[in-house]
A and B are shown apart, each in its own frame.
Chain A
C-alpha cells in the first residue's frame, strides 16, 4: 500500500506536464486546443474530524462496534421472533406477524453490518487520495506474435482451412445439434391430440344448455332481463372428470340482453341472438384475458388487461385497443323447455391468434 502512495501535488504536476506534451505533438488543425481541459489534480487534502479529534475517533469507533453488536441482536431477535410468533396454519394474521418480526430482525442484522462496514471505511480507516494508473489492455508485441503463431500452427497441424470437407461437416453437425431441443417444445402441448384441433373447438355443440358460472344451473331466456350480464359455462362442465379448467378457459361466455332494436347483426348472423339476448366468448382476441367489464348503457365491453373495447351492439367489433378481431359470437336459441341452448360451436377459434389459425 505504501508503495502506491503518491502525494496529490506530485501527481497533479505529472499530469499537467503530460497534457502540455500532448498539445505540443498534436498537428493542430483544430482551434479548440487553446481551451483544452487540464487535469486540475486533487483538491487539497482535508483531514476528517476523526483524524484531528481523538474523541470523535473514539466515538466513531463506538458507533461501528455498536452497529455490529446491533446486527448480532437482530439475528438473535429473528431467531427468537420465529419461535415467539409461530405460524398457525389457519391464521393469516399469525403468518403476517411471523413474517414481519422475523423480517425486521433479519433486516437489522444485514443493514447494521453494511452501515457499520461503510462507516468504518469512511470515518476510521486511512484517509489518503491516490491514483491507480490504468494498465494497457493489449499484450506486448512478443506475446501478440506468439499468439498469432499458435493459431497459425494449429491451423496448419489440424488442416482446418485445408481439409474443407471435415470442417464443413463439423459446422453442419453443430448447426443441426440444437434441433432436438426445439422438438421437445411439442411436449408442452397435449400428446394425444392436435393442438390446432384443441384450439379450434370448444365444449359447445348443438343443444348444449347455457348454465350459470359457477353453479351450473341452466338459464331460461326469461331469466335474462334487459341490462343483465350473465357469466356462462356450458352445462355439464362442472361434471367433467378432468380438463375442467382447460375446457372452461375456452368455453367461457358472457350473456347479455339488449333492446332487440339496438342490435345490428352481421349478414348471416341475424338469428344468432334471441330476443336481444346475445352470447359472446369471454376470451379476448388479443392475448386471452377474460373480457367482462360490460357497460349496460353504452354496450361497451372492456378488456381490463390492455383496454381493448368491443361494441356488443355491433357484433363485438373492436372500437379501441390492441385486439385485432371481434369476439367470437356463440349462436343461441331456445329449446322446448325455454332454456337457452347453443345452435352450434363457435365458428372460429376463440382467443388470441396462433400460427395455424385460418
Chain B
C-alpha cells in the first residue's frame, strides 16, 4: 500500500532532500559572501572606548575563566596585564586561544573569533598595561633582505624551528611548530612576545628591520620550492633514511625476487 502511494506521488522521493541541500547552499553562500564583506571592511579604532568595552565583554565571556575577570591571572592561566595587543593577536588569531585543554603547550585549532573581535580583544588587553603592539604592515609584508634574514634565522631560530622552517620536537611533549604556512604578522608577534615556551626576541635583540628580514626569508621559503626536489618534510636524515630503507631496499628486494624467480 505505502509503496504504491509513494510511487503515485508527483515528486521524486529525494526531492525534499535536494531542496533542503539547495537552500542550505544558498544560505551558507550568501552568509559567507556577506560576512567576508564585513570582515574586509572591519577597521577597529584601537583607542576608542567602544572598542575596549566590546573587547572587555568578549574577554569576560571567553577568557576570564582562566585569566581572571580583569586579566589578573589565576591558577589556570597567567596574568595578561602588560602582554600587549601583539600577544593576543597571535594567540587568538592563530586559534591557540581560547585553549582547548591544558597540556604541554597550546595547540593550534580553527580560529574562534572574527578579525574584528580579535582586534577588540587585543586592544582591551593592551589597555590594561603597555606591551608590544600589532606590527605595522610594512614590517610583515616580506619586503626585506632574505639573505640577512636567513643568517639571523639560522643563528636565532633554526635550532628549534629547523633550518627550512619545518619545526621540531622539544622536551616533554612540547614542540616548535612548522613555519611553512604562518602569516608574516603572526611570525613577527611570536618573536616579540615569545608565546608558550619560545624565548622573547625583543627589538634590541633583533631589530624590527631584522625581523622583517627574517619574515622575508620565511616567505622566500614558502614561495620557492626546494631546489633538491622532493623535500620529505625537510625533517633531515631520519625521514630521508626511512624513505631509502623502505623504497630503496624494497626495490632491491623486488628486483632480487624477479632475478631469481624461474621464468614462466
Binding site for B on A (CB under 8 A): 46, 48-50, 92-93, 95-96, 100, 118, 122-123, 127, 212-214, 219-220, 223-231, 256, 290, 292-298, 300, 302, 304, 309, 320
Contacts and interface: CB of A to CB of B under 8 A. Distances in A.
A100 B229 contact: yes
Nearest to A282: B159
Interface of B: 151-152, 155-156, 159-160, 168, 170-172, 174, 176, 194, 196-202, 204-205, 227-229, 258-259, 262-264
Contacts of B152: 214
A296 B170 contact: no
B231 to A, nearest CB: 12
A295 B172 CA distance: 11
Contacts of A229: 156, 199-201
B75 to A, nearest CB: 15
A293 B159 contact: yes
Contacts of B227: 92-93, 95-96
A48 B261 CA distance: 12
B160 A231 contact: no
B159 A295 contact: no
B205 A227 contact: no
A230 B194 CA distance: 13
Contact of B199 (A96, A213, A296): A296
A231 B205 CA distance: 9
Q: Chain B interface secondary structure, helix, strand, loop or mixed?
A: loop
Contact of B194 (A227, A298, A300, A320): A227
Q: Chain A interface secondary structure, helix, strand, loop or mixed?
A: mixed
B250 to A, nearest CB: 16
Nearest to B263: A122
A127 to B, nearest CB: 8
Contact of B200 (A225, A298, A309): A225
Q: Which of B168, B172, B204 has the most C-beta atoms of chain A within 10 angstroms of its own C-beta?
A: B204
A300 B155 contact: no
A302 B170 contact: yes
B159 A230 contact: no
Nearest to B160: A293
A228 B263 contact: no
Contacts, number: 80
Given A50-B263, A298-B174, 9 more contacts: A122-B263, A214-B152, A223-B204, A256-B199, A292-B159, A295-B171, A295-B197, A296-B194, A297-B197
A339 to B, nearest CB: 12
Given A213-B155, A223-B205, A300-B171, A48 B263 contact: yes
Nearest to B202: A225
B264 A49 contact: yes
B151 A214 contact: yes
B205 A296 contact: no
A212 B205 contact: yes
Contact of B229 (A96, A226, A320): A96
A302 B171 contact: yes
Contact of B170 (A49, A50, A123, A293): A293
Given A228-B205, A231-B155, A296 B263 contact: no
A100 B229 CA distance: 9
Please give me the 3 A-B residue pairs with the lowest Cβ-Cβ distance, nearest first: A229-B199, A295-B197, A92-B227
Contacts of A298: 171-172, 174, 197
Contacts of B171: 295, 298, 300, 302, 309, 320
B199 A290 contact: no
A228 B199 contact: yes
A290 B155 CA distance: 10
Contacts of B204: 219-220, 223
B202 A228 contact: yes
A224 B203 CA distance: 10
B200 A295 contact: no
A214 B150 CA distance: 12
Q: Which of B170, B196, B198, B205 has the most C-beta atoms of chain A within 10 angstroms of its own C-beta?
A: B205
A227 B159 contact: no
A227 B170 contact: no
Nearest to B78: A297
Q: Which of A48, A92, A93, A304 has the most C-beta atoms of chain B within 10 angstroms of its own C-beta?
A: A304
Nearest to B205: A230
A238 to B, nearest CB: 13
Contact of A296 (B151, B168, B198, B259): B198
A167 B100 CA distance: 82
A48 B196 CA distance: 69
A210 to B, nearest CB: 12
A334 B264 CA distance: 84
Nearest to A303: B159
B43 to A, nearest CB: 32
